[in-house]
Amino acid sequence: MRLRILGAAKEVGRSALLLEAEGKRILLDAGVGVGAEYKYPLVTPEIVNSLDAVVITHAHIDHSAYLPRLFEMGFSGNVYITKPTRDLFQVLVADYRRIAAERNAWTPSTEAVTEALRHMAFLDYGESARIGDVRITFKDAGHILGSAQVIVEAEEKRLIYSGDINPRPSRLHSGADLEGIDADILITESTYGHPEDRLPSYKTAGKQLADSVRATIESGGFAVIPSFAIGRAQEVILTLDAYMRSGAIPDVPIVVDGMIKKALRIYRANVLHLREEIWKGILLNDYDPFRSERIVVPRRLDRSDILELRPTVIVSTSGMLTGGPVLRYLEMLAYDERSKIILTGYQAPGTPGRRLLEGARVIRIGEKSYDIRIGVEFVHMSAHADYNDLIRYADAVKPERAITVHGEPDRVDALAKALEKRGISAEAGELDVWIDLGA
Ligand SMILES: [Zn+2]
Ligand SMILES: [Zn+2]
C-alpha cells in the first residue's frame, strides 16, 4: 500500500490523496485551494487515467470542487459520496464556477459537472463499497452535513482518513463517530494541530456570538458575519434564531445572502442526518428553525434595501472576505463605527479576513481602498477538531503509523511531533512523493 499527497500537504486546501492498494488506485478528495488565489492539486491526466475510483469526504470546495476537472481529463469511474454531500456539492460547484469565471481561473464545463453527478455512487454512514479487493466504509465525521471519515481495508491493513473532522457536538451535529475506527494507519487533518490551539465549545462560542450581536444591535449598528456557505452559516443562523426566540437578544431580521439560503434548504431536506434534537424538535414542537420567519433575503441587487433594516444582523459569503456579497456590505458599512464584522472561522494567510485579524485597517475591494472604521471581532465557531480533540481522535484510532495533512506547516509538524510522543510513527506528509505504507 502506498500514498501520494497531491494537495493539502503542509497547507489547508486542495485536498487530494492518491492511494494505491491491491493493484487499485483511489483518489481521496479532489479539492481546490481557497485563499487569496485558487490553487489546484497536482493531478495529471496520466494519474487520472490510472484511477479506479474517487472518494469525496465532504462538500467544502477544498475537498470537492476539482472533481469535474477529473472528468474533463477523461475519468469515467465511480465517485463514492454521501447523498447530502452530493446535494451540497451542486450548490458549491455553482458558486465556485461563478467566482472562478470572475477571476479568470479554471471554470468547470457544464458537461463535466453533469458527468461528475452522473458517476456518483451513494454511500451512507456505516455502508461499504468494494473497489476490486479494496473495501471502503464511511463514518460520520461531525464536520458539516454529510461529512465522512473513510476507512480503507486492503492488503490485510486498515487505514483511516479523517477528512475534516470534529469529534465535539455542535448545534447541528452530535460529533464524529469514534466507534470502531481503530486502524493501522491514520491520515489526519491538522488544521488546529498545535498544542496551543484550544477552541471553545459550541455553547460558549454561541454565547460569545450572541453577546457580540446584542451589543451591536443595541448600539444601532449592523452585525456582519462573513461565513462559508455551508456548515458555519447554518450553525450561526440557528444559534441566532434560538437566542432571538428565547428573548436573549433583540428580535431582528436575520439577513441571509450568497449561497447560504440554498444550502439551508439542503440542510432541511437532509435533516435526518443532523442531531436528533433538531429533527425531533421540528416533528414534536412544530417549529422549524430552517424556515424561521426571521430569515430574510435582499430584494435589490445593490443590497441597498438592507440598509433600511438597521439595526440587524447579516450572514453572508464569503467567510474570508475574498469575494461574495459580503464585500458589498463592507463597501456600504466600512465607515460605520456602530457596526461590526464578526469573523467566525479559519482565515487563510493573505486573505482580507486574515489581514483584518492581524490588525490591518485598510482593505481593497475591487479598485478602491477603504479605511476600516467598522469594528472587527473574532468568535471562534469552528467545525474542526482542536488540538485535544485530534489527540483524542488518534487515541481512538490507535494507529502504528500516522501522516498529518491539511494544516499550515507549523500545525502539521506540531501534530506529528505530539503523535510521535505517544509512540506512533508519525510524519508531516510531503507533497508529491510516494509514501510506502506497506511494512
Ligand atoms: Zn471542510
Ligand atoms: Zn478542509
pLDDT tens for residues 220-246?
Answer: 999 999 998 899 999 999 999 999 999
Q: How far is the CA of 122 from the centre of ligand 2 (A)?
A: 21
Q: Are residues 255 and 341 in the same domain?
A: yes
Q: Are residues 227 and 350 in the same domain?
A: yes
Strand order in the sheet with 340-343: 295-296, 254-257, 312-316, 222-226, 340-343, 375-378
Name the grid cell of 12.
489547508
Ligand nearest to the CA of 146: 1
Q: How far is the CA of 213 from the centre of ligand 1 (A)?
A: 25
pLDDT tens for residues 7-27?
Answer: 999 999 999 999 999 999 999
Q: Are residues 347 and 219 in the same domain?
A: yes
Q: Are residues 142 and 188 in the same domain?
A: yes
Whichever domain contains 257, its CATH number is: 3.40.50.10890
Q: Are residues 390 and 368 in the same domain?
A: no
Q: Are residues 262 and 408 in the same domain?
A: no
Q: Are residues 255 and 389 in the same domain?
A: no
Q: Are residues 149 and 268 in the same domain?
A: no
Q: Are residues 264 and 407 in the same domain?
A: no
pLDDT tens for residues 32-68?
Answer: 998 778 999 999 999 999 999 999 999 999 999 999 9
Domain of residue 160 covers: 2-196+383-436
AA letter at 375: G
Q: How far is the CA of 191 from the centre of ligand 2 (A)?
A: 8
Q: How far is Cα 174 from Cα 176, in angstroms, rounded to an integer? A: 7
Ligand nearest to the CA of 147: 1
**Number of domains observed in the structure of the chain:** 2
Give yes or no for a contact between 144 and 383, defined as CB atoms under 8 angstroms apart: yes
Q: How far is Cα 109 from Cα 16, in angstroms, rounded to an integer? A: 21
Whichever domain contains 188, its CATH number is: 3.60.15.10
With bands split at pLDDT 50, 70 and 90, how would you rate the model's confidence at 439? low
Q: Are residues 315 and 431 in the same domain?
A: no
Q: Tell me what pLDDT residue 418 has.
A: 98
Q: How far is the CA of 264 from the centre of ligand 1 (A)?
A: 17
Q: Quote the pTM value.
A: 0.93
Q: How far is the CA of 34 from the centre of ligand 1 (A)?
A: 11
Please tell me whether the peptide bond between 212 and the residue prior to it is cis, using omega within 30 degrees of 0.
no
Q: Are residues 212 and 343 in the same domain?
A: yes
Ligand nearest to the CA of 13: 2
Ligand nearest to the CA of 166: 1
- For 310, counting Cβ atoms within 10 Å of its Cβ (0-12 exposed, 13-18 middle, 19+ buried), the class is middle
Q: Are residues 295 and 407 in the same domain?
A: no
